[in-house]
Structure 1
Amino acid sequence: MTVVDGPACPNCGLLTGSRSPGAARERFEGLLETAPDAMVIVDDTGTIRLVNAQTEALFGYDREELLGRPVEVLVPGRYHADHARHRSDYTANRQVRPMGAGLDLHGLRKDGTEFPVEISLSPLETADGLLISAAVRDVTERKAAEAELTALYEQQRHAALTLQRSLMGTPPDVPGLTTASRYLPATQGLGVGGDWFDLIPLGAGRVGVLMGDVMGRGLEAAAIMGQIRSAAHALAKTGMEPNELVRALDAVVADLAGPDQLVTCCYLVIAPDAGEVTVCSAGHLPALIAGPDGGVRVLPAPVSVPLGVGDVLHQQQTTAVEPGALLLLYTDGLIETPGSDIEDRLDHLVAALDRAYAGADYAARTATPASAPDLEAIADDLLASLLPDSDGHDDVTLLLTRLPAAPLATTTADFPATAASVAEGRSFLAKTLLSWGFLNLVDDARLLVSEVMTNAVRHGQGRVRIQARYTARELTVEVADDSPRLPRPRLASDDEESGRGLALVESLADTWGVRPSGTGKATWFSFDLTHDHRPADALG
């Protein structure tokens, strides 16, 4: 039951005049009968003094059954306890007090059925004291329409959010990389927006991390987000450098969204073997990093403009990062709020991450992922600290990533780009694997490095570098040279002596790939150590 404060009765003088009180009362009762709503007049004790025909029709009583009875006869029993107090407050202050604010109140018919009502109260000053006039309106149809609209809105919101999550995709589980993510839809409208993130295994222990935000809300922003995310994922899989990927996405955004659509994006490549993170940001909020020894800082990145601006050279920066460090990426909905200073909010986020991460001691932060800080709990703590009120925020995405542990062992050797170096490279790798206990991998690895080095010597330039490393999950061999020309697998004819090297790599290695690296390239292949390729001492 909605209670609305009504104006003082414009005809209250009809009841207070002394010249002809009988005529005034008769005129007032006539006005009650012409009122469109049910009218119930009660005194300060809650006793019903007057009702009109609409009251009889609405509640199912004859007026003789109501006159002189407590008004609570028209109110469901669960409201009786508070009804007298609310009426007393209104009598004392001539103002509506919140009667069950936030609750749906109801009237009660003679047959015991309840129905939603809206009530407007007005004071009536009479010669006998104060009366209270209540105009009662049945809002059953309106409530049903509101419920139908609410259900329809929720269906549309659910469909829109389902579409957005489908466009956002489900990032894969990356072995060795512990993550926790959150997505909160906007609290206004359909809730959909242009936030997205992605994790891309790049091979050889490297991982790409994407975070982006299409400005605006609604299905259009979500649709553009889905296309940009797909393009970014495909570009990242080629192994291109972060600044090259962002530059390529700039053209994609210009084609998809036009000059008025801005997109922020941050792309990081994590290289655990080198202990480095390379980042390129196109107008995105800075990533944060929490070191294993404690302390939170902003991950350095050259300042740049959002995608879609065009004609801007995006730059990247590589930062040394310790294994076990924690990276936080997020979208602006986490820290941008109306009337707040974004620098202050960023400081608040840094402090919140510092508090959450400091909950684990140094030994736990640098130990195995199983005993490392709970990223899920940290994500919840950050949301509770930055968004204590669940209402009134834009869509929010955050991603916590704990960097993988460093390789258990790594070794590197450089060779001149000559034919004699192929045999030297085979020998170097064989000795390395034997020293590590990978007896069962020596023959395959020696054959594959021979094929890859031959390509590097024949088609590359400068020196050739071999790097071998292994973790608890895989053994990786990488051959780098200074030529930007990438090798391509092809089908060799029966009478050709060459063209089968990469086919052998693809056949014998568990995974392999090629990626640009500065002025040259690196070709790598890996063996899975989780099954039959464990070191000899582990095989027992």
Structure 2
Amino acid sequence: MSVERLRDTGSQPGFFRELVESSQDAILMKTLDGQITFWNAAAQRMYGYTPEEAVGSHVGVIVPPDLKDEEAGLLARIARGVRIEHYETRRTAGDGRVLDIDVTLWPIRDHDGSITAACSIMRDITARKRGEAELTKLHAQQRQVALALNLMGNAKQIPGALAASRYLPSTQGQGVGGDWFDLIDLGAGRVGVFVGDVMGRGLDAAVVMGQLRSAARALALAGLPPCDLMRTLDAFTRDLPEPFVTCVYLEADPAQGEVTVCSAGHLPVLLIEPDATVRELPVPTGIPLGVGGVPHQQVRLPLRAGTTLTLYTDGLVETSSSDIDLRLKLVTSMLEDVFATAADLESAADRVLHALLPDTETYADDVTLLLVSFPTAPLDTAETGLACETASIPAGRRFLRAKLAEWGLTALSDTALLLASELLTNAYRHARGPIDLRVWHSVRELGVEVTDHTTPRPRARLAESTEEDGRGLLLVEALADAWGTRPTTSGKTVWFTMLVTSADQGASPAAALAPAPG
């Protein structure tokens, strides 16, 4: 059917032709076998063909070779009376350019109702599609950067703890957000555990998360107690562009059988007992970082060997259609079921995620889950109190020598006694008593700790040639496998550890008990 025939159906002669010629969208008509019968001015501008060149030609002239079958399928649908709205495809201009277009097609019927032709309205969306592609690429780049920032905090296995972690970036909106987690070897058998969540999404939140995680790790390694660490992070957060952060920090000491916890507005930490019962740790919730004005509180709680701590972010438990308290109860019951039968932490983590997030293809927020288990306590622990006097140094050596003999670790005696003497001498000369000497060993290492009642912490330094002091800690640093200091409520603890090998164990106790100086 020609445009002249359609024009005659209007109430005014020429109305239809004027309408389609003035349209900003390309309009063409074609027979059911694809022959072009009408071509307006906008079609000429879009494709470069004049009406004289286009009319009478087959529509395939503007169809890319790989879409010939698609065009045939569209014409077949039109022949069945189907109207096709806003179909996005590609077409080829006369100069060879490939255009992205949005096309609407509908059948044209004759007076008797039979379908004789098709009309197409086409709009060039190439610029829009290019913009969408660039935006998608930008989002993908930002997502990759944000994801890389987050994955730097993957929990690694460290001595004294087993861990399984899961991080699922959001599949909606700007994608990756500000979740983070970290597992830190604090030395002397102690383990630091972090989980946090920066408000917001995208690269900005991920960058803030990376800054906070780095700062938190540095502060933890510096030996700050959890509440002091939170106070410092709170001040640090106020200068960041995303100033609203929730997090929780735990400092676990399996040798002491305790864990110290401080929370900044974060969700409850769940403790799973060896018999698979689950309970919340009684920790004051506190306020999020960046708010200020209210001090954070830490609590010290017992930590049994064989227990597992469960830390997570709100993406695991919050939904738009469920109450948070009900979800937390669901998590508790789910953990009890899982840990009653799970073979290991990795399978437990997978089962928890599958149960709480059955549709793992779509989730509106980042999901973070961290399971940390402390399977065994140290094999042996012993301590003794000493007065702040010279006689305490040989007394401490005798105590340590006897314990090493009792534990079958006499191969470590020479080095351990030398380093313990240095720490005891420093405590006697530079601190206030009483002095506490604590020793412990696990399958992996021997630990020696000296606690006094003076706050300033010692540091290794290079002594001048004329000085008698200043070399003790350099000796400790050279001979120990690890050493460090940490504050206590009334002073400080200086510690060192030595790795235990199979060759170090089982030496003759008689050799260790032989007379020795001091």
TM range (shorter): 0.7 to 0.9
Kept after mapping to 2: 8 A contact 1:287/1:328 = yes
1:145 alignment partner in structure 2: 130
Please state if 1:263 is matched with 2:249.
Answer: no
What secondary structure is seen at the aligned counterpart in 2 of 1:250?
A: helix
Cα 1:419–1:284, aligned 2, differ >3 Å: closer, same or farther?
same
Match of 2:285 in 1: 303
Q: Larger deviation: 508-517 or 482-491?
A: 482-491
Cα distance change on mapping 1:410 and 1:190 into 2, 3 Å: same
- Kindly indicate whether the alpha-carbon contact (under 8 Å) linking 1:486 and 1:521 is maintained by their aligned counterparts in 2: yes
* Number of the residue aligned with 2:168: 184
Report the 3-state secondary structure (helix = DSSP H, G, I; strand = E; otherwise coil) of the residue aligned with 2:158. coil
Q: For 1:212 and 1:443, how far apart are their aligned partners in 2?
A: 44
Change (3 A) 1:490 1:143: closer
* Stretch moving more, 312-321 or 477-486: 477-486
Asked if 1 retains the 8 angstrom alpha-carbon contact of 2:178 and 2:200, the reply is: yes
- Which of 374, 379, 399 does residue 346 from structure 2 map onto? 374
Query: Which position in structure 2 is the counterpart of 1:37?
Result: 26
TM-aligned CA deviation for residue 492 of structure 1: 4.3
Residue 262 of structure 2 corresponds to 280
Which string of whole-angstrom CA distances, capped at 9 and with x for unpartnered residues, describes residues 350-376 of structure 1? Answer: 34434443332xxx5xxxxxxx3425x
Task: State the partner residue of 1:418.
Answer: 389
Structure 1 equivalent of residue 377 of structure 2 = 406
For the pair 1:53 / 2:25, whether they are aligned, the reply is no
Instruction: Decide whether aligned partners of structure 1 residues 86 and 514 sit closer, same or farther in structure 2, where only a CA change above 3 A counts.
Output: farther
| Distance of aligned partners of 1:74 and 1:520 in 2 relative to their CA distance in 1, 3 Å threshold | closer
Task: After TM superposition, give the deviation of residue 230 of structure 1 in Å.
Answer: 2.4
- C-alpha displacement at 1:427, in angstroms? 1.1
Counterpart for residue 412 of structure 2: 441
Kindly indicate whether the alpha-carbon contact (under 8 Å) linking 1:206 and 1:269 is maintained by their aligned counterparts in 2.
yes
Aligned mate of 2:361, from 368, 373, 390: 390
| d(CA) in 1 for partners of 2:160, 2:89 | 57
One-letter amino acid of the counterpart of residue 377, structure 2 = A
Distance 1:246 1:448, change over 3 A: same
Aligned: 1:248 with 2:220: no
Q: Is the 8 A contact 1:462 1:481 kept in 2?
A: yes
The one-letter code matched in structure 2 to 1:280 is C
Instruction: Give how far 1:173 is off.
Output: 4.3
Structure 1 355/463 Cα, relative in aligned 2: closer, same or farther at 3 Å? Answer: same
Render the CA deviation track for 1:269-319: whole Å, top value 9, x for unaligned.
Answer: 011112222110011112222222113332221121111222212111222
Aligned-pair identity (%): 40
Among candidates 314, 329, 342, match of residue 311 of structure 2 = 329
Is this contact kept in 1: 2:143–2:175, CA < 8 A?
no
1:4 corresponds in structure 2 to none
Change (3 A) 1:496 1:160: closer
Question: How many residues in Structure 1 have an aligned counterpart in Structure 2?
Answer: 493
Checking the alignment, whether the CA contact within 8 Å between 1:194 and 1:225 is kept in structure 2 is yes
Separation in 1, partners of 2:208, 2:240: 7
What corresponds to 1:199 in structure 2? 183
Structure 1's 499 and 41: CA in aligned 2 closer, same or farther, altered over 3 A? closer
**1:429 aligned partner, one-letter code:** L
Alignment of 1:520-539 (within 5 A): 520-530=491-501, 533-536=504-507
Q: What are the ranges of 5 or more consecutive residues in structure 2 without an aligned counterpart?
A: 60-64, 509-518
CA contact (8 A) 1:160 1:192 kept: no
CA spacing shift, 1:309–1:75, aligned 2, 3 Å: closer
Q: What are the superposed Cα offsets for residues 467-519 of structure 1, whole Å, 9 maximum, x if unpaired?
A: 22111211111222343343333444555554443233223222111111222
Q: Secondary structure at the match of 2:122?
A: strand
CA–CA separation in structure 2 for the residues paired with 1:52 and 1:98:
20
Q: Which residue of 2 aligns with 1:292?
A: 274
Q: Following the alignment from structure 1 to structure 2, what is the Cα–Cα distance between the partners of residues 33 and 403? A: 78
| Matches of 1:385 and 1:123, distance apart in 2 | 50
CA RMSD of aligned residues (A): 4.1
Alignment check: 8 A CA contact 1:480 1:520 kept: yes
Residues 138-179 of structure 1 show CA distances to partners (whole Å, capped at 9, x for unaligned) of 64734762564255424542564266348x556654234322
Report the Cα distance in structure 2 between the residues aligned to 1:446 and 1:356, rounded to whole angstroms: 47
Q: 2:314 & 2:497 partners in 1: Cα distance? A: 38
Whether the 8 Å CA contact 1:417–1:457 is kept in 2: the answer is: yes
TM-score between both structures, scaled by the size of structure 1? 0.76
Aligned residue in 1 for 2:488 = 517
